[in-house]
Amino acid sequence: MLQKLAPLLIFIVLVVFLGIGLTLNPREIPSPLIDKPMPIFSLPQLKEPDKTLSSNDFLSKVSLLNVWASWCVACRSEHPVLLDLSRTGVVNIYGLNYKDKREEALRWLDYYGDPYTKNIHDLNGKLGIDFGVYGVPETFIIDQKGIIRYKHIGPVTEDILKNKLLPIIKKLQAIG
């Protein structure tokens, strides 16, 4: 009797797991770095390679860290949203230029505009790995103490900015 019911039980278990999987949001990949200090680093700036940007530069203010590259098609779609946010002055936006040639990244910023307060040039991608970057674009909210409070995978849209990022940023700034 059990042998006849086994295929049905296996089928039911598979349907339950499939149903659970379909309810998950693929953009919400849990990050082990949430509520932990950002990686300690000091890397050259994109525009001024003789100057560095370090994790200490993120202290004392809420910041947005956007991981991008000139070769990233999705980065192009989020770029106007970042430009608009930058014009408001609500939060400092730092760029993490990921595995990109400096000349191509600078040309891209000249052409599309530069929303970033400063850019980190991560040519070999080591800092991106330290941040747990899966791919570009990714965006992090970092609080005044250098703690990563939120990670968004994929392009930032107007909706995501308005309904996810800005409420978190404003809440952290109010705690200040």
* Three-state secondary structure of 114-146: CCCCEEEEECCCHHHHHCCCCCCCEEEEECCCC
Q: Give the residue carrying structure tokens 């039911």.
A: 12
pTM of the model: 0.83
Q: Are 66 and 93 in contact (CB under 8 A)?
A: yes
Nearest alpha carbon to residue 139 among 61, 74, 88, 49: 74
User: What are the domain boundaries of the chain?
Assistant: 2-175
3-state SS class at 33: coil
Assigned CATH topology for domain 2-175: Glutaredoxin (3.40.30)
Nearest alpha carbon to residue 160 among 58, 22, 66, 19: 66
pLDDT in tens, 9-42: 565 656 555 555 555 555 455 567 899 999 999 9
Single-letter amino acid, residue 144: Q
pLDDT in tens, 87-134: 999 999 999 999 999 999 999 999 999 999 999 999 999 999 999 998
Length of the chain: 176
